[in-house]
Structure 1
Amino acid sequence: MATALQPVTPFDTFAALDIRVGTIVAVEAFPEARKPAWKLTIDFGPLGTRRSSAQITVHYTPETLVGRQVAAVMNFAPRQIGKFMSEVLTLGFPDAEGEVVLVMPERPVPNGGRLF
């Protein structure tokens, strides 16, 4: 599904996003979510752990997620999703069917590293 590009934005807008890498250390079911999702606990090294709700149940099971490094936006305001507080936005791209494929480094990197 092709979409139009977003309007041109200053680089400072992108630089204001704090996108970091972390390792998923725990995955829980999230049956209360409107769309199928997992509750992730992600270790960002010196920045500690954060939780995230992610609609990634089509391509990923808890067993395939634990130990995987992912990218997440750290400085968005926490978002209440049902009774769960999502603290970071885990990043992904839609595949051809619109299902989320996670953004991950192509080799291991230190947890907490910032995207630049």
Structure 2
Amino acid sequence: MKPVVFLDLFNALDLRVGTILSISDYADGMVQLELQFDGFTRRFSLAWESLRPDVHELLGKQAIAVLNIPGHIPEESGRLLEIGRAEQWMPILVVPEHPIPEGARVE
């Protein structure tokens, strides 16, 4: 297990729901997803090419992102919440149970 994080630190994270607008191949086996939030978009790179055969099935779905942390590559900020990649399983995104407004905050 990882160490306990105090509630103030958790509350400092900007966790929001966005809708996947586009998916494209990037570099070195990475794919890039562009998500729409409430009034702005953000791009996220994921090292999924060899682990997830059809990432394009995610187009139009919602996902949860942390917007105020460094990205996987220097020119990006933020990360999508994902399950399975660290264990070398087919990675999946953390998603809301039902569609909700873009930009909704996660608490």
TM-score computed with the length of structure 1 as normaliser: 0.78
Gaps of 5+ in 2: none
- Aligned mates of 1:8, 1:87 — CA distance in 2: 24
- Name the SS of the counterpart of 2:34 in structure 1: strand
Q: Which residue of 1 aligns with 2:59?
A: 66
- Name the SS of the counterpart of 1:64 in structure 2: helix
Gaps of 5+ in 1: none
Shift in Å, 1:66: 1.1
Q: Which residue of 2 aligns with 1:111?
A: 102
Letter in 2 for 1:15: N
If you compute each CA radius of gyration, which structure gives the higher value, 1 or 2?
A: 1
- Name the SS of the counterpart of 2:68 in structure 1: coil
Deviations 1:77-107 (A, max 9, x none): 45535xxx22320111117643421100111
1:91 aligns with 2:81: yes
TM-score computed with the length of structure 2 as normaliser: 0.84
Q: Which residue of 2 aligns with 1:26?
A: 22
- Aligned mates of 1:63, 1:99 — CA distance in 2: 14
- Aligned mates of 1:66, 1:20 — CA distance in 2: 18
Q: Which 4+ stretches in 1 moved above 4 angstroms?
A: none
Shift in Å, 1:112: 0.3
Q: Decide whether aligned partners of structure 1 residues 79 and 59 sit closer, same or farther in structure 2, where only a CA change above 3 A counts.
A: closer
* The 10-residue stretch of structure 1 (62-71 or 90-99) with the greater mean CA deviation from structure 2: 90-99
- Matched pairs, number: 105
What's the RMSD between the two structures over aligned residues?
2.0
